[in-house]
Chain A
Amino acid sequence: KNEVEQSPQNLTAQEGEFITINCSYSVGISALHWLQQHPGGGIVSLFMLSSGKKKHGRLIATINIQEKHSSLHITASHPRDSAVYICAVKDTGNQFYFGTGTSLTVIP
Chain B
Amino acid sequence: NAGVTQTPKFRILKIGQSMTLQCAQDMNHNYMYWYRQDPGMGLKLIYYSVGAGITDKGEVPNGYNVSRSTTEDFPLRLELAAPSQTSVYFCASSFAAAAISFGPGTRLTVL
Mark A residues whose CB is within 8 Å of B: 2, 4, 30-31, 33, 35, 41-45, 48, 86, 88, 90, 94-96, 98-101
Contact = CB atoms under 8 A, between A and B. Distances in A.
A35 B105 CA distance: 15
Contacts of B90: 42-43
Contacts of B97: 30-31
A94 B50 contact: yes
Interface residues of B, number: 22
B43 to A, nearest CB: 4
A45 B101 contact: yes
A98 B50 contact: no
Given A42-B104, A94-B50, A48 B42 contact: no
A90 B45 CA distance: 13
Most buried by B among A33, A43, A94, A99: A43
B99 A98 contact: no
Nearest to B88: A40
A48 B33 contact: no
B98 interface: yes
Contact of A42 (B43, B45, B96, B105): B105
A46 to B, nearest CB: 9
A63 B55 CA distance: 32
Contact of B42 (A33, A95, A101): A101
